[in-house]
Amino acid sequence: MMRIFREVSSLVGAMGRVPGSKNNAKKKKVYKKAVKTWCRPRDLDQVQDDMEKEVRNGKKLEFEVDDDLPGLGQYYCTPCARHFDTQGTLDGHVSTKQHKRRLKEAKQERYTQDIADLGAGKTKEILPPAHPK
Ligand SMILES: [Zn+2]
């Protein structure tokens, strides 16, 4: 929460109104945007990258001790990209519907640019080499 406040106060100025505005609407808008981007979860492709990394290394992702994160950042759920206070809450979370849904989404096939192009009807033309050896 302190980080959001610092972010907003740097955008709005230490205190008072945003220059050029007669009411507080601009300040509220700036605050809302800051909170929205601060609370933004990791995107699915980022999570898929993380999960691939875990599989490759054969162990869970490790984080350095961070005072700002719950549980000092030591209890992390990779598919949901969330930190938890204790091992108990993490274990409780693993059996929830939200976690299972997120895990299912993350295990789906990755959506790539090639698939998007195919969907749009674009095909890749493979030309013969211009200068055959
Ligand atoms: Zn989870």
Top pLDDT among 29 and 12 is at: 29
- Under 8 Å CB-to-CB from 94, ≥6 apart: which residues? 77
Mean pLDDT of 93-98: 93
Distance 50 CA to ligand 1 centre (A): 13
- pTM of the complete model: 0.59
Upper half-sphere CA count for residue 124 (Cβ side, 13 Å): 8
> What is the distance between the alpha carbons of residues 89 and 77, in angstroms, rounded to a whole number?
11
Specify the residue for token string 């719950």.
70
Categorize the per-residue pLDDT at 100 as very low, low, confident or very high, splitting at 50, 70 and 90: very high
Distance 41 CA to ligand 1 centre (A): 12
Distance 86 CA to ligand 1 centre (A): 14
Top pLDDT among 36 and 119 is at: 119
Mean pLDDT of 51-74: 86
Distance 83 CA to ligand 1 centre (A): 9
> What is the distance between the alpha carbons of residues 105 and 78, in angstroms, rounded to a whole number?
12
Q: Are 75 and 84 in contact (CB under 8 A)?
A: yes
β-sheet bridge partners, residue 82: 77
Domain ranges of the chain: 73-110
% of the chain surpassing 90 pLDDT: 15
> What is the distance between the alpha carbons of residues 122 and 84, in angstroms, rounded to a whole number?
44
Distance 102 CA to ligand 1 centre (A): 7
pLDDT, tens digit, 9 for 90 and up, residues 69-94: 888 888 999 988 889 999 999 999 99
> What is the distance between the alpha carbons of residues 20 and 124, in angstroms, rounded to a whole number?
52
pLDDT surpasses 90 at 95: yes
